[in-house]
A and B are shown apart, each in its own frame.
Chain A
Amino acid sequence: MSTQAEHTTTNRRDFLFVATGAVGAVGAAAVVWPLINQLNPDASTLALASIQYDVSPIAEGQSVTIMWRGLPVFVRHRTEREIEEARAVPLSDLKDPETDEARVKEGHAEWLIMIANCTHLGCIPTGQSGDFDGWFCPCHGSHYDSSGRIRRGPAPANLVVPPYEFVSDTLVQIG
């Protein structure tokens, strides 16, 4: 009977019980976090976050794939026709509306630089193919146009343009 009476009011012991439990939970979380955080990209992976690349050897109409942060990156030297084709598309035709101008650097419209992983599930699309003179992803059938924008298929977004700038007319810094 006495135990029941004790529990009708909150007493010092209840407070200590909750306080101890709370401190214990914080301690447990503090121990678990580094055990999970070790899975995140390590210093050696992060160190490769910025690269420079000379685009001058790439002929018009040619496309190369280079590596940045372990990801493949397309550098495509577009022809006049491909640029015009990309700019002629009305935005209303696009699944992920974005102008071609917004996807290249001003004055360097012939250079299209994009992360080469399909935005669906990460395969590398095949260049100069598909129904829109851009890329075709063989994995799940996404078609990208000559500006790397998604036109048909399961991919939700345009090929991603990484942060980059032209250091000189022919030298690009990615990252």
Chain B
Amino acid sequence: MSEHSTYIPGNAVEKWLDDRLPVVRFAREHLMDFPTPKNLNYWWTFGAILVMCLGVQIVTGIILAMHYTPNVAMAFDSVEHIRRDVNGGRIIQATHAVGASMFFVALYIHMFRGLFYGSYKAPREILWILGVLIFLLTTATAFMGYILPWGQMSFWGATVISNIFSAIPLVGESIKQLVLGGFAVGNPTLNRFFSLHYLLPFIIAAVVALHIWALHVPGNNNPVGVEVKDTRDTVPFHPYYTMKDLFAMVVFMIPFAWFVFFAPDILGHPDNYIMANSQVTPAHIVPEWYLLPFYTILRAIDFNVLFIDSKLGGVIAMGGAMLCLLIVPWLDTSKVRSGTFRPMFKWFYGLFVLNFLGLAYLGAQEAAEPYTTLAKVCTAYYFIYFLVILPVLSRIETPKPLPTSISESVLGKAHA
């Protein structure tokens, strides 16, 4: 979108560079002059916050790798060594561990924002799908990272999740052995997960670049969901949104810092401060909080469906839950993007958010009544929302009248 930039090389050196590698022009077009809808609210700052989170994880992670040992005999002690002996290690390790949680806080908010404001609708389907891909990659990265301290939860979390592969008919057991490098989780597993945990963030960064590229083709969606019509609807990204994003980052860092300084372990599990023991399963295995909703869906299927046994059924349900996100642009065919103008959608969406929190709560409970029944109910609503409610609402709902332009909606608000 080179037409947005008014960049004219200021001197002979800039002109020389611009003819050979126009990085300054590129930065001007995409980081400074990029036309951005002028009505973006604070829910739109989480993209920038997520870039910051990825940066924090990569920087702290590279430092931790300088002191960590990926071997079953030494891994647990090396993490304690980082926390006790390494200069500033206590804070750096806590930032990385808390950072993973904060990453997911921002990720979920970013995704729920997209789901409310219809940011996945044409022409932004690829943008949305790349986002879901980033979510899946981040989940895989966080999961492998949680194995590395080699505590009880690390070991048993890895055991439970790697057994998901064994649910695949015929080739499942071979795939599981290929992934683990043995018959059970062991040293080969830890070693390769460390390698992949180091690799994946850079792949995420590459997909983030594609995600931003896909964003800069159609431009941002916005809270009223009406496309930008002329230049009066937009402001340049810099300084308007660079400053707004920076402010949001600072606010986001407040709870982040609180956790790091005062409660670095509160989001973890005490069992992970016991070294991994392949002979004793903790009484109650809980994944990290950010995986809980999907974990609930996995174990909600405790009955056979036709020829599909309960184990494969659970895996299919969990995979299906993620697949729903990928295909949501084609499930919700309503022409109106923003939930603000959809009187019925709003309520079902609100219930979906509560239901998702419910799924997270249930994932941390033991597998007993009434939780098992509630888990089935919440799992059912998750799928009904995507597969029934969204397609049906698209047909039967009468949306409220849309403002004719972003400018009108902004000025209208000012008058009211």
Which of A18-26, A54-62, A64-72, A77-85 faces chain B?
A: A64-72
CB within 8 Å for A70 and B183 given contacts A123-B285, A140-B299, A141-B372: yes
Q: Using known A-B contacts A140-B302, A154-B301, A156-B310, determine if residue A42 contacts B279 with beta carbons closer than 8 Å.
A: no
- Interface pair A45/B181, CB less than 8 Å apart: yes
The reply to whether B192 and A39 contact each other, CB–CB distance below 8 Å, is yes
A121: B residues at CB distance < 8 A: 159-161, 163-164, 311
By a CB distance below 8 angstroms, the chain A residues around B183 are 41, 45, 69-71
Given contact pairs A140-B367, A141-B368, A41 touches B181 in the complex (Cβ within 8 A): yes
Shortest distance in angstroms between B6's beta carbon and chain A's nearest beta carbon?
A: 45
Q: How many A residues, CB 8 Å from partner? A: 31
Query: Does the CB pair B281–A139 fall under 8 Å?
Result: yes
Interface SS of chain A: helix, strand, loop or mixed?
loop
Q: Is A97 an interface residue (CB 8 A)?
A: no
| B contacts with A: majority SS | loop
A42 to B183, CA, bound (A): 11
Question: Could you pull out 22 A-B pairs where Cβ atoms are within 8 angstroms?
Answer: A40-B178, A42-B188, A45-B186, A45-B188, A69-B184, A70-B278, A71-B184, A72-B278, A72-B279, A119-B311, A122-B163, A123-B156, A138-B281, A138-B367, A139-B156, A139-B284, A140-B302, A141-B302, A154-B299, A154-B301, A154-B310, A156-B309
Does B302 contact A153, Cβ atoms closer than 8 Å? Answer: yes
Which B residues are closer than 8 A to A by beta carbons? 156, 159-164, 177-179, 181-184, 186, 188, 192, 278-285, 299, 301-302, 304, 309-312, 314, 366-368, 372
Asked whether A70 lies within 8 Å of B163 as measured between CB atoms, the reply is no
Which partner residue on chain B sits nearest A120 by CB separation? B311
**Known interface pairs A138-B366, A153-B367, A156-B309; 6 further A-B residue pairs with C-beta atoms within 8 A, sorted by A's residue number:** A121-B161, A123-B285, A139-B156, A139-B367, A141-B302, A156-B311
Residues of B within 8 A of A126 (CB): 281, 283
Question: Nearest chain-B residue to A116 (Cβ)?
Answer: B279
Interface centre among B156, B160, B183 (most CB of A within 10 A): B183
Decide: B367 and A141 in contact? CB cutoff 8 A. Answer: yes
Interface residue from A65, A95, A120, A141 paired with B279 (Cβ < 8 Å): A65
| CB atoms of B179 and A39 under 8 A apart | yes
A70-B186 in contact (CB<8A): yes
A124 contacts B279, C-beta separation under 8 Å: yes
- A130, chain B: closest CB distance, angstroms: 12
| Ranked 3 nearest A-B pairs via Cβ | A141-B367, A154-B302, A156-B309
Q: How far is the CB of B177 from chain A (nearest CB, A)?
A: 6
Across chains A and B, the number of contacting residue pairs, with CB separation under 8 Å, is 102
Q: Once the chains bind, are A45 and B182 in contact (CB under 8 Å)?
A: yes
What 0/1 pattern do residues 112 to 134 of A give for CB contact below 8 A with B?
Answer: 00000101111111100000000
Cα distance A119–B160 when bound, in Å? 10
Q: Is A155 close to B, CB under 8 A?
A: yes
Give Cα A72 to B184, complex, Å: 9
Are B311 and A138 in contact, with the CB atoms below 8 A? no
The listed residue (B192, B278, B283, B304) touching A67 by CB distance below 8 A is B278
Residues of chain B lying within 8 A (CB to CB) of residue A141: 302, 366-368, 372
A123, B278: Cβ atoms under 8 Å? Answer: no
Of the listed residues A36, A41, A65, A71, the one surrounded by the most CB atoms of chain B closer than 10 A to its CB is A41
Q: How far in angstroms is the closest Cβ of chain A from B38?
A: 50
Question: How far is B183's CA from A71's CA once the two chains are assembled, in angstroms?
Answer: 7
Chain B: minimal CB distance from A53 (Å): 15
Alpha-carbon gap, A124 to B314, bound state (A): 19
Shortest B388–chain A CB gap in Å is 25
B181, B280, B299, B366: the one within 8 Å of A40 (CB): B181
In the assembled complex, how far is the CB of residue A39 from the closest CB belonging to chain B, in whole angstroms?
A: 5
Do B312 and A42 have beta carbons less than 8 Å apart? no
Nearest chain B CB to A25's CB is how many angstroms away?
22
Nearest chain A CB to B71 CB, angstrom units: 14
B299 CB contacts on chain A under 8 angstroms: 140, 154
CB distance from B174 to the nearest CB of A (A): 9
Cross-chain contact B162 with A122 (CB below 8 angstroms):
yes
| Bound-complex Cα distance A141 to B310 (A) | 13
Tell me whether B281 and A156 are in contact (CB under 8 A): no
- Once A153-B302, A154-B314 are accepted as A-B contacts, the answer to whether A42 and B181 lie under 8 Å apart by CB is yes
Which of A67, A120, A121, A140 counts the most chain B CB atoms within 10 A? A121
User: Smallest CB–CB gap between B239 and chain A, Å?
Assistant: 48
In whole angstroms, what is the CA distance A119 to B166 when docked?
Answer: 9
Closest B residue to A40 by CB, please name it: B178
A141: min CB distance to chain B, Å: 3
Complex alpha-carbon distance, A99 and B150, angstroms:
39
Q: Please indicate which of the listed interface residues B281, B285, B312 has the most CB atoms of chain A within 10 Å of its own CB.
A: B281
CB distance from B295 to the nearest CB of A (A): 10
Contacts of A72 in B (CB 8 A): 278-279
The docked-state distance in angstroms from the alpha carbon of A155 to that of B367 is 13
- Complex Cα–Cα for A110 and B160 (A): 30
Decide yes or no: A67 and B279 within 8 Å by CB, A45-B181, A121-B163 being known contacts. Answer: yes
Chain B residues closer than 8 Å to A120, beta-carbon distance: 163, 310-311
Which residues of B are found within 8 Å of A153, using beta-carbon distances? 302, 367
